[in-house]
Amino acid sequence: MLVIFFHAYARWPQHVPWATAHSEFPLFKYGWMGVELFFMISGFVIYMTLERCNGLWEFLYKRWLRLFPAMLIATVLVFFSSDLFRERPAGTPQWYDAIPGLLFLEPGILSKIFGVDFSSLEGAFWSLYVEVKFYLIFGTIYFINKKKSLHVLILIFLVVCIFYLGKYLGFLTDSNFLIKILFNLLSLNYFGWFCIGALIYLFKKNGAAKYLIGACVLLPLALELNTGRDPGALIFGMGVFLIFVGANSSKALAKLLSRFPFVFFGFLSYPLYLIHENLIIAMTVKSRLWAKWLPDMLTPVPGMLIVTIVAYIIASYLEPSVRMRLSTFKPFGSFRNGRVD
């Protein structure tokens, strides 16, 4: 919901200036840090998933089976509804704009390969591209050396921090070849969040304080690489981190987060994330035209409700159906279990 608040109330002042009048409110302004929370959760879950897999291909297949069905449905929905929502900030997509999301591959890479100007159907897809890079890199490292895999991942992130320092001090520029590889192609500047999530998983699993200390040490580095020096972003980021740690160490907070609103939105969070941005902004514009009695601050609400309902239908019915059909396709033979973590 943090990311949805950011997109609805802060991200698009040029399209919905009346709805973004309060964009400086911290929950709206820094809602984009919901992505960093998503990355921490991913680091937690992926380490746990890797422990349950026999090999890299099994792991990658399970992750594909987890991500692809909702992406396929979202792609069809967004593409074929775009003519009904011409107020979309991203505009009307071309048919080939569906390809980056379905391949989980950044448009820029495809553009360089094919010489066609690819775009993502939804701007929010960018984090999935980063996510898949993490799967490939950490999955490969893990099955080469399970015991040292997280150490290697943290070391990689620390090397990236050194290059970032060199860039900050003026020794390197954005055009530097290694900077382009580390930051643009591999997106390693986001890997601190995955490392933090994995460390908190080990802290919860083993109870050893060293993992929590390690996560706390990495936090300021991850914040620096992704938030710059905005004091508000730093404070908000630390708050997100504390909530994540608390959810995995405090029974009281875990019980609170197990209540209906959190469980409900957690259940449909992935399809909701995929489809929400352009649809909510387009419907915010329509709401102001069709429901003039609605206060400006509430004009995003109808769109938010509609995409929530659609996301629930996807998560409850469409996504499981597509996944069940796709699960019969096992390109690398039968795995130990058919479970999708």
Predicted local distance difference test score (pLDDT) of residue 170? 81
Q: Let me know if residue 341 belongs to a domain.
A: no
Question: pLDDT class for 90, splitting at 50, 70, 90?
Answer: very high
Give pLDDT tens digits for 99-140. Answer: 999 999 999 999 999 999 999 999 999 999 999 999 999 999
In angstroms, what CA-CA distances link 336 with 44, 53, 139? 22, 8, 17
Q: Let me know if residue 242 belongs to a domain.
A: yes
Mean pLDDT across the chain, nearest whole number?
A: 94
Assigned token pair, 175: 């055009």
CB atoms within 10 A of CB 32: 19
Q: Let me know if residue 338 belongs to a domain.
A: no
Q: Let me know if residue 179 belongs to a domain.
A: yes
Give pLDDT tens digits for 137-169. Answer: 999 999 999 999 999 999 999 999 999 988 888
Question: pLDDT class for 171, splitting at 50, 70, 90?
Answer: confident
Give pLDDT tens digits for 231-286. Answer: 999 999 999 999 999 999 999 999 999 999 999 999 999 999 999 999 999 999 99
Q: Look at residues 169, 222, 214, 164 and name the one whose alpha carbon lies nearest to residue 193.
A: 222
Range of the domain at 307: 2-325
Predicted local distance difference test score (pLDDT) of residue 340? 54
Q: Let me know if residue 332 belongs to a domain.
A: no
Q: Let me know if residue 114 belongs to a domain.
A: yes
Give pLDDT tens digits for 52-83. Answer: 999 999 999 999 999 999 999 999 999 999 99
Q: Let me know if residue 278 belongs to a domain.
A: yes
- Among 226-230, 267-271, 287-291, the range scoring the smallest mean pLDDT is 226-230
Assigned token pair, 80: 């074929």
Predicted local distance difference test score (pLDDT) of residue 339? 55
Average pLDDT over residues 170-189: 86
Share of the chain above pLDDT 90, in %: 88
State the total domains in the chain.
1
Q: Let me know if residue 287 belongs to a domain.
A: yes
- Cα(75)–Cα(78) distance, integer angstroms: 5
Predicted local distance difference test score (pLDDT) of residue 113? 94
